[in-house]
A and B are shown apart, each in its own frame.
Chain A
Amino acid sequence: MIVDLPSTSTASVNRALVELRERGGAVALGRVLTLIIVTDDGEQAENAIEAANAASHEHPCRVLVLARGAKRAAARLDAQIRVGGDAGASEVLVLRMYGPLADQGASVVVPLLLPDAPVVAWWPGAAPKVPADDPVGRLAQRRITDAAAQRNPGRSLDATRRCYADGDTDLAWTRLTLWRGLLAAALDHPPHEDVDAAEVTGAGDSPSTELLAGWLRSCLNTRVRRVHAGAGGGISSVVLERPSGPVKLVRPDGRLGVLSQPGQPDRTVPLARRPVRDCLAEELRRLDPDEIYEAALHALPAVIGRGSTSGRKARS
């Protein structure tokens, strides 16, 4: 069900929510968190809502979409409430803000946050310079950005590293989870040798490649080289050098990964880029600071071969 409340106020939105709950029992109480999506109005907003609806099947939440409309207009709030089939297992409030109100997202969401439940902020597109200092970011325990969606992914990662605060996380990091899982699983089994050096290859504009290199650097405390492949396609390979021979995880076509280890047959695994909805569901699973991500960020400067093109946007 979709209820439109044009030119409204947050108090009226709250009243409409209570009314909906009483009338249809449609708005349930089992919400576990409030997710604030900060975006520009338009296609980006709809894509983000779709991802949030999908993720809500795992984490029922109240989704507040702050869609910034035209600034050169009179201050106005248009709201839309979506519940039931139109909202997955969540209730979605799209808040379109115009004029001077467009910059007051934090004030608009305060009366609409669920009581006592954690708050997660997500910027699917352009992120604030320092998410933890952003007015909306300050309301949230967890702040999700996406380095890959920034104009200059490499430089944005460096900025993120410098201003990291507990609760920060990035979808470029989430996209890595399966890669990291496979690599860790490969080292679970004999021979238990030290890794002498590592090499990570990926597109010049791929922040995930950088973070994978940073993660390896922080865990292995050894030489980690980042190699630039052409633009697009994300990570293409990881090599861990060990005395008995290299452990390699290669993804030439962006879909299938091939894991090879000395003395063992090559094994293929599906390793396609994860859809945003999966990444978001993973992010919502844990709300405590991600120390591993922090360590990976801080290890970035120690990665060899970074920076040669990371300052330039290489995506075609």
Chain B
Amino acid sequence: MTRREPGSAAGGRHNPLRDVRDKRLPRIAGPCGLTIFGVTGDLSRKKLMPAIYDLANRGLLPPGFAVTGFARRQWTHQDFGEMIRQAVTEHARTPFRQVVWDRLVEGVRFVPGTFDDDEAFDNLAATLADLDRVRGTSGNHAFYLAIPPSAFPVVCKQLARTGLAAQGDEYWRRVVIEKPFGHDLHSARELNQVVNDVFCEDSVFRIDHYLGKETVQNILAMRFANQLFDPIWNSNYVDHVQITMAEDIGLGGRAGYYDGIGAARDVIQNHLLQLLALTAMEDPVSFHPAALRGEKVKVLSATRPVGPLDETTARGQYTGGWQGSQQVVGLHEEAGFDPDSATETFAAITLEVGTRRWGGVPFFLRTGKRLGRRVTEIAVVFTRAPHLPFDDTMTEELGRNALVIRVQPDEGVTIRFGSKVPGTAMEVRDVTMDFNYGTSFTETSPDAYERLLLDVLHGEPSLFPVGQEVELSWQILDPVLAHWAAAGTPEPYPAGSWGPESADSMIARTGRVWRRP
């Protein structure tokens, strides 16, 4: 008896040409189209359009795929096509191929209008219906809201009014949204409400592009496919965990977006808490989306900040200085930024995970702009060996063992442990053992957006946080934000450094130090 897999959209009906053992078959999406709001934005040009082209180039988009743009511009379809082409030639990962482009551009449409313009949305509905007819998109449409969240309510309402958000038995409608998912628990609930009023939770795809990264998915493979790590993955052996996302860039250009939001909301609430969830969660019973999300929800619901927040958190604002070899201005001198702003560009917090596995293990999370270098990593730092049969002088240079998951750049895993220094004396010093994703696997792994877009078109939800995860994350962060809002201001730190002094003291008070990534 052969094992067959039902076709993805076949609702239990067997597709005779599919077989779970046939691992070569590419995951080509079914007939569908993608509608993008905010096509003139940064996200569309730098991420979405290149990802669409790269997917097409890899043969993973369905024949007849359609891309519809909506914006307040008087453009023709050709103008829009030209704009995509520019975005693709500038930012795509794979080489430009005329045949692929020619096919793709046949399905490009543009609808001009503003979000409150009923006629424009009627026009959009007509355009999509026409695509169903001439391109065979079969009524399957995804709507990508690459627009500020303040515009979500009106766009959702328009999609509902025109019937574009209505699901059918034979076709699907999905909506894709980007961070920020609100600015606190209350607003996140409101936003979820706005979206869920129109799209049921199953058809909402929240992008956290970190989850589309190979290295992040590799956390699960490393933890759950191996016997080596699980026995020590708990408070018996782990002393603490550090999760860092450092950027070397400042706010040039994005000041408007950032002011009033800050590093904690922009990065900790989503990316870092997702990384924490993947690092700390129990093993899911299967890789079924529901099982995976269930475990993430569990661990997030057990996570809370450690107090007193005055001593366990830190925040800062970068000042002018030398970022490596380049002289840069401070936050207050950035164009378009309120010189009196109290928005933090560096945030660090201490969390605890109240489970049997993690009780007593602090999780230190930090993120910031204009830090020493661009790096994202998870460092699991182990306790010292309970007894060292060496003299103190022999182990002076021995630190704690650590396992570091390097998320970006230079993706891979580093293990740090002690080793004998060559020579006659018994002297132990830290060495590292490296696994480098780039040299063991593909050099050009697909971009996170490729993976995530394809998952949206397939209706595969594993890599997208559910509304509940978003709300739990805010629940974790809100007390810290409230504490910061109530008193004090961010502490200045020079550009190119690793953050303000308070960041060092918050970890030093527990007898630990930050790794220099």
Contact = CB atoms under 8 A, between A and B. Distances in A.
Interface of A: 28, 30-32, 57-60, 89, 174, 177-178, 180-185, 187-190, 192, 194-195, 216, 219-221, 255-257, 259, 261, 264-265, 267-270, 272, 282, 286, 290-292
Contacts of B31: 189, 264
Interface string B20-63: 01111110111100000000000000000000000000010011
A180 B136 contact: no
A264 B137 CA distance: 9
A216 B25 CA distance: 14
Contact of A30 (B22, B24, B439): B439
Contacts of B136: 261, 264-265, 267
Contacts of A291: 21
A60 B9 contact: no
Contacts, number: 123
B28 A292 contact: no
B23 A286 contact: yes
A32 B26 CA distance: 23
Given A219-B19, A221-B16, A264-B136, 8 more contacts: A28-B439, A180-B24, A181-B25, A184-B28, A188-B9, A192-B7, A219-B17, A265-B64
9 contacts: A177-B26, A180-B22, A188-B7, A189-B10, A192-B7, A264-B138, A265-B135, A267-B63, A270-B100
Contact of B440 (A30, A265, A292): A30
Given A178-B59, A259-B63, A188 B21 contact: no
B443 interface: yes
A268 B25 CA distance: 19
A270 B101 CA distance: 10
A198 B439 CA distance: 44
B59 A270 contact: yes
A312 B465 CA distance: 58
B17 A189 contact: no
Nearest to B56: A270
Contacts of A195: 16
Among all A-B residue pairs, the 3 with the closest Cβ atoms: A30-B439, A267-B63, A267-B64
Given A30-B439, A265-B136, A187 B7 contact: yes
Contacts of A265: 64, 133-136
Contacts of A177: 24-26
Given A178-B59, A187-B17, A270-B97, A60 B24 contact: no
A188 B15 contact: yes
A268 B23 contact: no
Contacts of B25: 177, 180-181, 184
A292 B138 contact: no
B443 to A, nearest CB: 4
A177 B23 CA distance: 10
B103 interface: yes
B86 to A, nearest CB: 21
A183 B134 CA distance: 20
A299 B7 CA distance: 23
Nearest to A261: B136
B30 to A, nearest CB: 5
Interface size class of B (residues with CB under 8 A): 35 or more
A189 B22 contact: no
A185 B24 contact: no
A294 to B, nearest CB: 10
Contacts of A256: 99, 103
* Residue in B22, B103, B439, B443 whose Cβ sees the most chain A Cβ within 10 Å: B22
Contact of A189 (B19, B134, B138, B441): B138
B8 interface: yes
Contacts of A31: 440
B64 A188 contact: no
B179 interface: no
B436 interface: yes
Given A189-B138, A264-B138, A292 B22 contact: yes
A230 B100 CA distance: 27
B440 A220 contact: no
B13 interface: yes
B424 interface: no
Contacts of B9: 188-189
A200 to B, nearest CB: 13
B26 A181 contact: yes
Contacts of A182: 28, 63
Contacts of B8: 188
B440 A185 contact: no
Contact of A185 (B30, B138, B436, B439): B30
Interface centre among B64, B100, B135 (most CB of A within 10 A): B64
B15 to A, nearest CB: 5
Nearest to A272: B99
Contacts of A264: 31, 136, 138
Contacts of B135: 265, 267
Contacts of B26: 177-178, 181
A86 to B, nearest CB: 16
Contacts of B170: 190
A171 to B, nearest CB: 13
Interface string B307-332: 00000000000000000000000000
Interface string B86-104: 0000000000010110010
Contact of B443 (A58, A187, A257): A58
Given A189-B10, A255-B99, A270-B59, A180 B17 contact: yes
Nearest to B436: A30
B18 interface: yes
A286 B63 contact: no
